[in-house]
Amino acid sequence: MSVDSIQQRSGAVTFKGKPMTLLGPELRVGSPAPQFDLTAGDLSPVNLDILLDEGKRAALLIAVPSLDTSVCSLESQKFNARLGELPGDVGAAVVSMDLPFAQARWCGAQGEIKLQMLSDYRDRSFGLNYGLLIAELGLLARAIVVVGKDRTIAYVQIVREVADEPDYDAALKAAAAAA
């Protein structure tokens, strides 16, 4: 697939004030959730069906540029600390372009991490299919996506300035409602 055939959304987000281009379609609440192929820490493949456990749970997807940055690390720590606010039938995962080895290193330095770590490094299918790949950086935009058990998009929050944190309360509320 050439970049020319991929939808480009110029200025959709900023990085330190500079406008950036997101590649892929804009997600809409109520639309079917696009498929993706991510990689878990043990290098096994994880797709939407696996994440939703064939419709038995909803998913809170926390897209971050890189766990090796302070805001991404802080965001992931905050979501991890608040996982107890979610019903048991909501799975939560951090998705980044970091290699699974880097994600494991970050987890090891944090203590107990309950969030699932998933990498989009292989084919960028999550970033492209969810419209979150920043063309200029090759990283994911900071975003929250909630997918309901019925495979529809229940909530989308794309953080306008990549260096800012998301609205945690709204994301957790939406994830709980999707259960």
107 an active-site residue?
Answer: no
Q: Which residue is it, tokens 């997101």?
A: 22
Q: What percent of the chain has pLDDT over 70?
A: 98
3 — pLDDT class (breaks 50, 70, 90): low
> Containing domain of residue 168, as a range?
3-178
**Residue 2 pLDDT > 80:** no
Reply yes or no on whether the pLDDT at 1 is more than 90: no
CA distance 134 to 176: 28
Determine the pLDDT at residue 48. Answer: 97
* Four-point Cα dihedral 89, 41, 128, 30, nearest 10: 0
155, 160, 164, 168 alpha-carbon torsion, rounded to 10°: -10
pLDDT band, very low/low/confident/very high, at 5 (cuts 50, 70, 90): confident
Count up the domains in the chain and report the number.
1
pTM of the full structure: 0.95
What confidence tens digit (pLDDT) does each residue in 99-136 have?
999 999 999 999 899 999 999 999 999 999 999 999 99
**Is the CB of residue 147 less than 8 Å from the CB of residue 55?**
no
Query: Pick the catalytic residue: 72, 94, 113, 134?
Result: 72
Average pLDDT over residues 80-101: 97
For residue range 24-40, what is the model confidence (pLDDT) as tens digits? 999 999 999 999 999 99
Q: What pLDDT does residue 111 have? A: 87
Q: Is beta strand 58-63 parallel, antiparallel or unpaired with respect to 90-96?
A: parallel
Looking at residue 137, which CATH number applies to its domain?
A: 3.40.30.10
